[in-house]
Amino acid sequence: MSLYSFGLEPLSCHAWNKDRTQIAVSPNNNVVNIYEKKGKDWVKIHELTEHSGRITGIDWAPESNRIVTCASDRNAYVWTMKDGLWKPTLVLVRINRAATCVKWSPLENKFALGSGARLISVCYFEKENDWWLSKHIKKPIRSTILSLDWHPNNILLAAGSADLHCRVFSAYIKDIEDKPGPTAWGAKMPFGEVLLEQKDCGGWVHSVSFSPSGDQLACVTHSSSVIVVDAAQSKQVTQLTTEHLPMLSVLHVSPTELMAAGHDSCPYQFTYKGPGTLKFVKKLDIPKQTSKGSMSAMQHFRNLDKRATEDDSNELDTLHQNSITQLCVVSGEKTKVEKFSSVGLDGAMVIWEFKH
């Protein structure tokens, strides 16, 4: 477990490059900073400053080395590296509200953008006119899209929304790819087709994650619950309500293990082995050894008087001192993740190790 602090500003989002030597983060403003690892420190090497609104999503495509960023200024840019500098290309997403999240597809030939305009914009590059085009998925979304995740087949897209529903859409674009074969979620997949509509998950769906095979979909909601929909078992739904504060991000680290983190500032591990078997496993953080220096009796009673507690420290006993906003895989295959990273509102990035 290693912690690195990027300053005092909250980190809204982050993305890694292919070999994990560079990280792109945004300190809650309209700028994306790219840091490179030099020894134990991270040194800022680039600053991407095209957006005029707060950056809400960053994704870095490992193979094609392109970065896509989206912000509350209703725009998205695709950045490509030219002569040692990142050059932006505007994407015509045609939304009239802020963009909230963005994700490259597994084959990196398109990306999906969620927005407050109650629609998902699936964008692809058109070679003839040399620009990025977008197709909209509107029905039946009733509110802001909060999170997106692609299925390994590059066609299906899961979306968690503020209208309390979790849905799986088809994002098949016939101009750029072949017809997909049938999956456990369905056989007919024209663009915009809804293959799953999980109604009323209890709260806003903050994060969704497909399992490595794509047959299970996990989501975390604002009602402090984790929901898993199993397509391989006829779309059976298993819900687990937790005693923790709501989680903001969920990640599959193996076909059966889930990692979720959020307002409790530390990652929790859950396990899913089939319908009805969703269970909490453990909390990943190791509590700090609080060095209780000798406190005078006077100090003791002064604390009791002022704060109603004998504890002198103001810190949380977790590594992150504030909510975790995003989890990301760092090393290991999707089926056997070895390390994952978390960024939070405290401006810190922590790399966690996971032992299977």
Partner 1 sequence: MSKNTVSDRFRKVDVDEYDENKFVDEEDGGENQGGPDEAEVDGLLRQYPSATGGPEGLGARERPGGERAELLVVKVLSSFKSSDIEKAVGSLDKAGVDLLMKYIYRGFEKPSDNSSAVLLQWHEKALAVGGVGSIVRVLTARKTV
- Residue 222 near partner 1 by CB under 8 A: yes
Tell the smallest beta-carbon distance from residue 251 to partner 1 (Å): 20
Whichever of 150 and 268 has its CB closer to partner 1, that residue is: 268
Per-residue burial over 123-161, b = 16 or more CB atoms within 10 Å of its CB, e = otherwise: bbbeeeeeebbbbbbeeebeebbbbbbbbbbbbbbbbbb
Least CB distance to partner 1 at residue 247 (A): 10
Q: Which of 93, 146, 159, 164 binds partner 1 (CB under 8 A)?
A: 164
Distance CA 153, CA 175 (A): 17
Stretch binding partner 1 (CB under 8 A), from 29-37, 186-194, 217-225, 286-294: 217-225
Nearest to 348 by CA among 242, 266, 257: 266
Q: Does 202 bind partner 1 (CB under 8 A)?
A: yes
Which of 128, 130, 178, 243 touches partner 1 by CB under 8 A? 243
CA distances from 227 to 223, 243, 245 (A): 11, 15, 15
237 binds partner 1 (CB under 8 A): no
Cβ proximity to partner 1, 102 vs 137, nearer residue? 137
Among 200, 311, 317, 333, binds partner 1 (CB under 8 A): 200
Is the separation of the CB atoms in 4 and 343 below 8 Å? no
Residue 299 host element (H or E): helix 297-307
User: In sequence order, which residues have a C-beta less than 8 Å from that of residue 51 and are 6 or more positions away?
Assistant: 30, 31, 32, 69, 71, 73, 75, 77
Closest separation between CB of residue 142 and partner 1, Å? 6
The answer to whether residue 66 forms part of the interface with partner 1 (CB under 8 A) is: no
Tokens coding 335? 């089926």
The token pair that represents 161 in the structure block: 């929304």
**Binding to partner 1 by residue 96, rule CB under 8 A?**
no
Shortest separation between residue 337's beta carbon and partner 1, angstroms: 26
Q: In degrees rounded to 5, what are phi and psi of residue 238?
A: -120, 130
Selected binder of partner 1 within 180, 186, 203, 212 (CB under 8 A): 203
Q: How many residues form the binding site for partner 1 (CB under 8 A)?
A: 17
Q: Considering only residues 117-156, where is the footprint of partner 1 by CB under 8 A?
A: 118, 142-143
Name the DSSP class of 220.
E
- 53 binds partner 1, rule: CB under 8 A: no
Number of Cβ within 10 Å of residue 187's Cβ equals 9
Cβ atoms of 308 and 281 within 8 Å: the answer is no
CB closer to partner 1 out of 126 and 200:
200
Matching residue, tokens 């979720």: 260
Question: What minimum distance in Å lies between the beta carbon of 275 and partner 1?
Answer: 17
Interface with partner 1 (CB under 8 A), residue from 85, 90, 92, 245: 245
Q: Which is nearer to partner 1, 222 or 320 (CB)?
A: 222
Distances 308 to 202, 290, 292, 296 between C-alpha atoms, Å: 36, 19, 18, 17
Q: Is 334 in the site for partner 1 (CB under 8 A)?
A: no
Choose which of 223, 256, 271, 331 interacts with partner 1 (CB under 8 A).
223
Q: Interface residues with partner 1 (CB under 8 A)?
A: 118, 142-143, 164, 200, 202-203, 222-225, 241-246
